Structure 1
Amino acid sequence: MALKMMLAGAAAMMLRQLPLAAPVEQAPLVARGMDDLPLEPSPIEPSWIISGEPFARVGLHSRAGDDAATTAMWDCTAGEFRWYFDWDETVVILEGEVHVTAQDGSQRTLRQGDIAYFAGKTWATWRIDNYVRKIAFCRKRFPAPIALAYQLRNLLRGDKGSSGGLAA
Protein backbone atom coordinates (compact mmCIF):
# COMPACT_ATOMS: atom_id res chain seq x y z
CA MET A 1 0.00 0.00 0.00
CA ALA A 2 2.84 2.39 0.82
CA LEU A 3 4.33 1.79 -2.65
CA LYS A 4 0.99 2.65 -4.27
CA MET A 5 0.83 5.90 -2.31
CA MET A 6 4.41 6.82 -3.25
CA LEU A 7 3.74 6.15 -6.93
CA ALA A 8 0.50 8.12 -6.85
CA GLY A 9 2.27 11.02 -5.15
CA ALA A 10 5.06 11.00 -7.73
CA ALA A 11 2.54 10.94 -10.58
CA ALA A 12 0.60 13.83 -9.03
CA MET A 13 3.80 15.86 -8.72
CA MET A 14 4.64 15.22 -12.39
CA LEU A 15 1.17 16.31 -13.46
CA ARG A 16 1.41 19.54 -11.45
CA GLN A 17 4.54 20.47 -13.44
CA LEU A 18 2.74 20.29 -16.80
CA PRO A 19 1.63 23.69 -18.14
CA LEU A 20 -2.10 23.91 -18.66
CA ALA A 21 -3.34 25.46 -21.88
CA ALA A 22 -6.14 27.96 -21.75
CA PRO A 23 -9.48 26.37 -22.63
CA VAL A 24 -10.57 26.87 -26.23
CA GLU A 25 -14.02 28.33 -26.77
CA GLN A 26 -16.22 26.00 -28.73
CA ALA A 27 -19.87 25.53 -29.46
CA PRO A 28 -21.73 23.44 -26.88
CA LEU A 29 -23.48 21.52 -29.69
CA VAL A 30 -22.37 20.68 -33.21
CA ALA A 31 -25.01 18.92 -35.32
CA ARG A 32 -25.40 18.21 -39.03
CA GLY A 33 -27.24 15.79 -41.23
CA MET A 34 -25.02 13.03 -42.65
CA ASP A 35 -25.68 14.21 -46.19
CA ASP A 36 -24.97 17.86 -45.30
CA LEU A 37 -21.32 17.33 -44.41
CA PRO A 38 -19.10 18.26 -47.37
CA LEU A 39 -16.39 15.70 -48.12
CA GLU A 40 -13.00 16.74 -49.50
CA PRO A 41 -10.49 14.48 -51.28
CA SER A 42 -8.18 12.72 -48.79
CA PRO A 43 -5.68 10.71 -50.83
CA ILE A 44 -4.41 7.45 -49.37
CA GLU A 45 -0.62 7.33 -49.09
CA PRO A 46 0.39 5.73 -52.44
CA SER A 47 2.90 3.34 -50.81
CA TRP A 48 0.04 1.90 -48.70
CA ILE A 49 -2.09 0.91 -51.73
CA ILE A 50 -1.97 -2.81 -52.48
CA SER A 51 -4.39 -2.93 -55.43
CA GLY A 52 -6.93 -0.84 -57.28
CA GLU A 53 -7.27 2.91 -57.25
CA PRO A 54 -9.14 3.69 -54.02
CA PHE A 55 -10.37 7.27 -53.84
CA ALA A 56 -11.04 8.51 -50.29
CA ARG A 57 -12.76 11.64 -49.02
CA VAL A 58 -13.16 13.07 -45.53
CA GLY A 59 -15.28 15.72 -43.87
CA LEU A 60 -14.51 17.00 -40.39
CA HIS A 61 -17.65 17.18 -38.28
CA SER A 62 -16.16 18.38 -35.01
CA ARG A 63 -12.95 18.74 -33.03
CA ALA A 64 -12.61 18.82 -29.24
CA GLY A 65 -11.36 22.07 -27.74
CA ASP A 66 -8.16 20.35 -26.59
CA ASP A 67 -7.53 18.81 -30.06
CA ALA A 68 -7.50 15.35 -28.47
CA ALA A 69 -10.64 14.07 -30.25
CA THR A 70 -12.35 14.48 -33.61
CA THR A 71 -15.44 13.18 -35.35
CA ALA A 72 -15.39 12.85 -39.12
CA MET A 73 -17.20 11.28 -42.04
CA TRP A 74 -15.02 9.25 -44.45
CA ASP A 75 -15.76 7.33 -47.61
CA CYS A 76 -13.75 5.36 -50.13
CA THR A 77 -14.18 3.57 -53.44
CA ALA A 78 -12.95 0.07 -54.33
CA GLY A 79 -9.37 -0.92 -53.62
CA GLU A 80 -7.10 -2.60 -51.10
CA PHE A 81 -4.65 -0.74 -48.89
CA ARG A 82 -2.85 -0.78 -45.58
CA TRP A 83 -3.89 1.87 -43.09
CA TYR A 84 -2.02 3.20 -40.07
CA PHE A 85 -4.21 4.26 -37.16
CA ASP A 86 -2.21 7.01 -35.48
CA TRP A 87 -5.09 7.68 -33.05
CA ASP A 88 -7.54 5.32 -31.35
CA GLU A 89 -10.52 5.15 -33.70
CA THR A 90 -14.05 3.86 -33.34
CA VAL A 91 -15.98 3.57 -36.59
CA VAL A 92 -19.62 3.03 -37.47
CA ILE A 93 -20.20 1.74 -41.00
CA LEU A 94 -22.98 3.77 -42.58
CA GLU A 95 -23.01 2.30 -46.08
CA GLY A 96 -21.27 -0.50 -47.97
CA GLU A 97 -18.75 -2.88 -46.46
CA VAL A 98 -15.05 -3.38 -45.88
CA HIS A 99 -12.98 -6.52 -45.28
CA VAL A 100 -10.44 -5.76 -42.54
CA THR A 101 -7.34 -7.72 -41.59
CA ALA A 102 -5.75 -6.48 -38.37
CA GLN A 103 -2.00 -6.60 -37.79
CA ASP A 104 -2.48 -9.71 -35.60
CA GLY A 105 -4.02 -11.53 -38.62
CA SER A 106 -7.61 -11.45 -37.35
CA GLN A 107 -10.18 -10.77 -40.08
CA ARG A 108 -13.61 -9.22 -40.04
CA THR A 109 -16.09 -7.92 -42.60
CA LEU A 110 -17.74 -4.71 -41.43
CA ARG A 111 -21.14 -3.89 -42.89
CA GLN A 112 -23.75 -1.16 -42.48
CA GLY A 113 -24.53 -0.74 -38.79
CA ASP A 114 -21.36 -2.45 -37.53
CA ILE A 115 -19.17 -0.72 -34.95
CA ALA A 116 -15.43 -1.40 -34.71
CA TYR A 117 -12.53 -0.11 -32.63
CA PHE A 118 -8.97 0.24 -33.95
CA ALA A 119 -6.24 0.83 -31.39
CA GLY A 120 -3.90 3.71 -32.11
CA LYS A 121 -0.37 2.96 -33.32
CA THR A 122 -1.56 -0.14 -35.25
CA TRP A 123 -1.89 -1.16 -38.90
CA ALA A 124 -4.78 -2.85 -40.69
CA THR A 125 -5.41 -3.91 -44.28
CA TRP A 126 -8.68 -2.66 -45.76
CA ARG A 127 -10.25 -4.28 -48.84
CA ILE A 128 -13.23 -2.45 -50.25
CA ASP A 129 -14.99 -4.29 -53.07
CA ASN A 130 -17.31 -1.41 -54.07
CA TYR A 131 -17.73 1.47 -51.63
CA VAL A 132 -17.75 2.18 -47.91
CA ARG A 133 -18.83 5.19 -45.87
CA LYS A 134 -18.15 5.49 -42.15
CA ILE A 135 -18.26 7.91 -39.30
CA ALA A 136 -15.03 7.93 -37.30
CA PHE A 137 -14.59 8.94 -33.69
CA CYS A 138 -10.86 9.52 -33.16
CA ARG A 139 -9.02 10.12 -29.90
CA LYS A 140 -5.35 10.84 -29.31
CA ARG A 141 -3.71 8.63 -26.74
CA PHE A 142 -2.53 10.23 -23.53
CA PRO A 143 1.23 10.68 -23.14
CA ALA A 144 2.71 7.84 -21.06
CA PRO A 145 3.03 9.82 -17.78
CA ILE A 146 -0.61 10.92 -17.91
CA ALA A 147 -1.84 7.43 -18.85
CA LEU A 148 0.19 6.04 -15.94
CA ALA A 149 -1.37 8.58 -13.57
CA TYR A 150 -4.88 7.51 -14.65
CA GLN A 151 -4.00 3.85 -14.27
CA LEU A 152 -2.60 4.52 -10.78
CA ARG A 153 -5.72 6.47 -9.85
CA ASN A 154 -7.93 3.63 -11.05
CA LEU A 155 -5.80 1.12 -9.17
CA LEU A 156 -6.07 3.15 -5.96
CA ARG A 157 -9.84 3.48 -6.42
CA GLY A 158 -10.11 -0.25 -6.96
CA ASP A 159 -11.59 0.24 -10.45
CA LYS A 160 -11.71 -3.10 -12.18
CA GLY A 161 -12.79 -1.96 -15.66
CA SER A 162 -12.89 -4.85 -18.09
CA SER A 163 -10.47 -3.16 -20.47
CA GLY A 164 -8.16 -1.62 -17.90
CA GLY A 165 -9.06 1.71 -19.50
CA LEU A 166 -8.91 5.24 -18.24
CA ALA A 167 -12.45 5.50 -16.89
CA ALA A 168 -13.25 8.77 -15.18
Structure 2
Amino acid sequence: MSRALIEIGSCNVDLELRPIEPAWIIEGNPVSRSHILSTSSDGTSSTIIWSCTEGRFNWYYDFDETIMILEGSIVLESDGMPPKRYGVGDVIFFRDGAHAKWHVEGHVKKIAFCRKTNPAVIGFMIRVVNKLKRMFLSPGERRPATLMGAG
Protein backbone atom coordinates (compact mmCIF):
# COMPACT_ATOMS: atom_id res chain seq x y z
CA MET A 1 0.00 0.00 0.00
CA SER A 2 1.41 3.36 -1.03
CA ARG A 3 1.43 6.23 1.46
CA ALA A 4 1.58 9.93 0.67
CA LEU A 5 5.00 11.45 1.35
CA ILE A 6 3.35 14.52 2.85
CA GLU A 7 0.20 14.31 4.97
CA ILE A 8 -1.82 17.30 6.15
CA GLY A 9 -3.74 17.28 9.42
CA SER A 10 -5.51 19.66 11.74
CA CYS A 11 -5.58 20.18 15.49
CA ASN A 12 -9.33 20.82 15.17
CA VAL A 13 -10.54 17.25 14.67
CA ASP A 14 -13.21 15.14 16.33
CA LEU A 15 -11.60 13.25 19.21
CA GLU A 16 -12.59 9.73 20.22
CA LEU A 17 -13.10 8.69 23.83
CA ARG A 18 -9.91 7.09 25.20
CA PRO A 19 -10.46 6.43 28.91
CA ILE A 20 -7.59 6.79 31.35
CA GLU A 21 -6.70 3.54 33.11
CA PRO A 22 -9.08 3.64 36.14
CA ALA A 23 -6.35 2.50 38.56
CA TRP A 24 -4.28 5.57 37.57
CA ILE A 25 -6.96 8.12 38.58
CA ILE A 26 -6.16 9.88 41.85
CA GLU A 27 -8.99 12.42 42.01
CA GLY A 28 -12.02 13.48 40.00
CA ASN A 29 -13.46 11.97 36.85
CA PRO A 30 -11.06 13.00 34.06
CA VAL A 31 -12.33 12.18 30.58
CA SER A 32 -9.69 11.87 27.88
CA ARG A 33 -10.13 11.85 24.12
CA SER A 34 -7.67 11.58 21.25
CA HIS A 35 -7.17 11.34 17.50
CA ILE A 36 -4.13 9.95 15.68
CA LEU A 37 -3.04 12.48 13.06
CA SER A 38 -0.19 10.47 11.55
CA THR A 39 1.83 7.29 11.94
CA SER A 40 5.31 6.62 10.54
CA SER A 41 5.77 3.96 7.86
CA ASP A 42 7.52 1.64 10.30
CA GLY A 43 4.86 2.16 12.99
CA THR A 44 7.33 3.43 15.60
CA SER A 45 6.23 7.09 15.62
CA SER A 46 2.89 8.87 15.71
CA THR A 47 1.40 12.33 16.13
CA ILE A 48 -1.67 12.53 18.36
CA ILE A 49 -4.11 15.23 19.45
CA TRP A 50 -5.23 14.53 23.03
CA SER A 51 -7.56 16.34 25.41
CA CYS A 52 -8.68 15.76 28.97
CA THR A 53 -11.13 17.28 31.45
CA GLU A 54 -10.28 18.22 35.03
CA GLY A 55 -8.79 15.63 37.35
CA ARG A 56 -5.63 14.18 38.85
CA PHE A 57 -4.05 10.98 37.61
CA ASN A 58 -0.81 9.07 37.21
CA TRP A 59 0.64 8.50 33.77
CA TYR A 60 3.24 5.85 32.96
CA TYR A 61 5.14 6.30 29.68
CA ASP A 62 6.10 3.22 27.65
CA PHE A 63 7.58 5.29 24.78
CA ASP A 64 9.24 8.70 24.31
CA GLU A 65 6.66 11.48 24.12
CA THR A 66 7.11 15.18 23.39
CA ILE A 67 4.04 17.34 23.96
CA MET A 68 3.07 20.93 23.33
CA ILE A 69 0.08 22.30 25.20
CA LEU A 70 -2.43 23.88 22.82
CA GLU A 71 -5.18 24.83 25.32
CA GLY A 72 -5.61 24.92 29.09
CA SER A 73 -3.05 24.09 31.74
CA ILE A 74 -1.72 21.31 33.94
CA VAL A 75 0.30 20.98 37.10
CA LEU A 76 2.88 18.26 36.61
CA GLU A 77 5.01 16.51 39.19
CA SER A 78 7.38 13.58 39.22
CA ASP A 79 10.06 12.09 41.45
CA GLY A 80 12.79 14.68 41.94
CA MET A 81 10.66 17.38 40.31
CA PRO A 82 8.40 19.65 42.40
CA PRO A 83 4.90 20.45 41.10
CA LYS A 84 4.95 23.04 38.31
CA ARG A 85 2.23 24.62 36.17
CA TYR A 86 2.48 24.41 32.39
CA GLY A 87 0.23 26.11 29.85
CA VAL A 88 -0.27 27.05 26.22
CA GLY A 89 2.95 26.86 24.21
CA ASP A 90 4.93 24.88 26.79
CA VAL A 91 6.82 21.86 25.46
CA ILE A 92 7.59 18.85 27.68
CA PHE A 93 9.57 15.68 26.89
CA PHE A 94 8.82 12.41 28.71
CA ARG A 95 11.30 9.58 28.26
CA ASP A 96 10.28 5.95 27.92
CA GLY A 97 9.85 4.68 31.51
CA ALA A 98 8.90 8.07 33.00
CA HIS A 99 6.08 8.43 35.53
CA ALA A 100 4.28 11.73 36.09
CA LYS A 101 1.33 12.90 38.16
CA TRP A 102 -0.97 15.11 36.10
CA HIS A 103 -3.41 17.64 37.54
CA VAL A 104 -5.55 18.96 34.72
CA GLU A 105 -6.97 22.36 35.65
CA GLY A 106 -10.35 22.65 33.91
CA HIS A 107 -9.22 21.08 30.65
CA VAL A 108 -6.12 20.58 28.55
CA LYS A 109 -5.47 19.90 24.87
CA LYS A 110 -2.06 18.87 23.57
CA ILE A 111 -0.33 17.65 20.48
CA ALA A 112 1.92 14.68 21.21
CA PHE A 113 4.80 13.31 19.18
CA CYS A 114 5.29 9.70 20.29
CA ARG A 115 8.16 7.40 19.42
CA LYS A 116 8.74 3.80 20.44
CA THR A 117 12.33 3.38 21.54
CA ASN A 118 14.67 0.77 20.09
CA PRO A 119 16.94 -1.50 22.12
CA ALA A 120 20.36 0.12 22.70
CA VAL A 121 22.12 -2.20 20.22
CA ILE A 122 19.74 -1.26 17.40
CA GLY A 123 20.07 2.45 18.24
CA PHE A 124 23.87 2.10 18.11
CA MET A 125 23.71 0.38 14.71
CA ILE A 126 21.47 3.14 13.33
CA ARG A 127 23.95 5.79 14.52
CA VAL A 128 26.86 3.90 12.90
CA VAL A 129 25.01 3.66 9.56
CA ASN A 130 24.16 7.39 9.70
CA LYS A 131 27.79 8.25 10.50
CA LEU A 132 28.98 6.19 7.52
CA LYS A 133 26.49 7.96 5.25
CA ARG A 134 27.85 11.34 6.37
CA MET A 135 31.45 10.22 5.83
CA PHE A 136 30.84 9.06 2.25
CA LEU A 137 28.39 11.73 1.07
CA SER A 138 29.74 13.42 -2.05
CA PRO A 139 30.18 17.21 -1.89
CA GLY A 140 27.20 18.95 -3.46
CA GLU A 141 24.98 15.87 -3.08
CA ARG A 142 21.54 16.58 -1.64
CA ARG A 143 21.78 16.32 2.11
CA PRO A 144 18.88 14.87 4.11
CA ALA A 145 17.32 17.17 6.72
CA THR A 146 18.73 14.94 9.47
CA LEU A 147 22.25 15.83 8.35
CA MET A 148 21.45 19.53 8.65
CA GLY A 149 20.53 19.33 12.34
CA ALA A 150 16.82 18.52 11.97
CA GLY A 151 17.04 15.09 13.56
SS where residue 5 of structure 2 aligns? coil
User: Is the counterpart of residue 26 in structure 1 residue 24 in structure 2?
Assistant: no
TM-score for the superposition, normalised by structure 2: 0.80
Cα separation, partners in 2 of 1:100 and 1:150, compared to 1, 3 Å:
same
Q: Distance in 1 between matches of 2:123 and 2:93?
A: 19
Contact 1:25 1:65 in 2 (8 A): no
| Corresponding pairs, count | 135
Q: Distance in 2 between matches of 1:102 and 1:151?
A: 31
Q: More helix per residue: 1 or 2?
A: 1
Of 113, 116, 122 in structure 2, the residue corresponding to residue 140 of structure 1 is: 116
Gaps of 5+ in 1: 1-23, 158-166
Cα separation, partners in 2 of 1:153 and 1:32, compared to 1, 3 Å:
closer
Contact 1:100 1:125 in 2 (8 A): yes
User: Is the counterpart of residue 42 in structure 1 residue 18 in structure 2?
Assistant: yes
**Alpha-carbon deviation of 1:148?**
3.1
Report Cα offsets for 1:141-167 as digits up to 9, x if no partner: 11221123346678999xxxxxxxxx9
Give the % identical residues: 38
Gaps of 5+ in 2: 135-149
SS where residue 47 of structure 1 aligns? helix
TM-score for the superposition, normalised by structure 1: 0.72
Q: Distance in 1 between matches of 2:18 and 2:99?
A: 18
**Alpha-carbon deviation of 1:83?**
0.2
SS where residue 23 of structure 2 aligns? helix
Q: Distance in 1 between matches of 2:84 and 2:128?
A: 34
Q: Distance in 1 between matches of 2:111 and 2:78?
A: 19
SS where residue 105 of structure 2 aligns? strand
Report Cα offsets for 1:52-94 as digits up to 9, x if no partner: 0000000000000000100010000000000011110000100
**Alpha-carbon deviation of 1:96?**
0.2
User: Is the counterpart of residue 52 in structure 1 residue 15 in structure 2?
Assistant: no
